[in-house]
Amino acid sequence: MITAILVIGILVGVAAPRVLRGVDAAAVEATAGQINTIMLAAELCYSETGAWPSNQGGTVLPPEMAPFLRPNLFAVPCPIGGTYDWDYNNAGYVASLKIYGVDSDLTEWEAVDRAIDDGNTATGRLFYTAGSPLGRMRYVLEY
C-alpha cells in the first residue's frame, strides 16, 4: 500500500509541471490567436472603409469592426489576463489594441510576443507599459 502511494506521488510530481505548462501554452496560443484575429478585423475594416475603427473605450467593440469580428472578443477576458480595448488616435498611436490589467509577470506575454512579434516585450509592435496597479500590453498597427 505504501509503495502504491509512493508511486502515485512520484507520478503526480512528474506529471503536474507538464500539465501546468500545457495549460500555459494553450492560453498563450489562444491569446496570440485572439490578438491576430482582432488585428485582422481592424485591417479588413480599414481596407473596406479607408478608416480605422473608432475609439469606443473599455471593452466595447467598435461598431465598424463588428462585421469582421465574430464572436466579439472584446466581451471576453484575454486568456492570459487582461481586457481588450481598441484605441484610435489615442496615447500617441493612430491605431492600436490595448490589453489592460496585465500583471508584471511577463513570462506568458513574452511567449505571445515570440509568436506574433519580435519576442521582446520592450520593443516591436507588441510591448508592455507599466501601470498602477497593473500594466498594459499594446499592439500597434499604425504609429
Query: For a pLDDT cut of 90, what percent of the chain falls above it?
Result: 71
User: Where do the H-state alpha helices sit in the chain?
Assistant: 2-49, 107-116
**Strand ranges across the sheet with 135-142:** 83-90, 93-102, 135-142, 126-129
Q: What is the mean pLDDT of the chain?
A: 86
pTM of the model: 0.83
Mean pLDDT of 17-31: 72
Mean pLDDT of 106-128: 96
Q: What is the pLDDT of residue 137?
A: 95
Q: What is the DSSP letter of 65?
A: G
Let me know: does 99 contact 39? Beta carbons within 8 Å: no
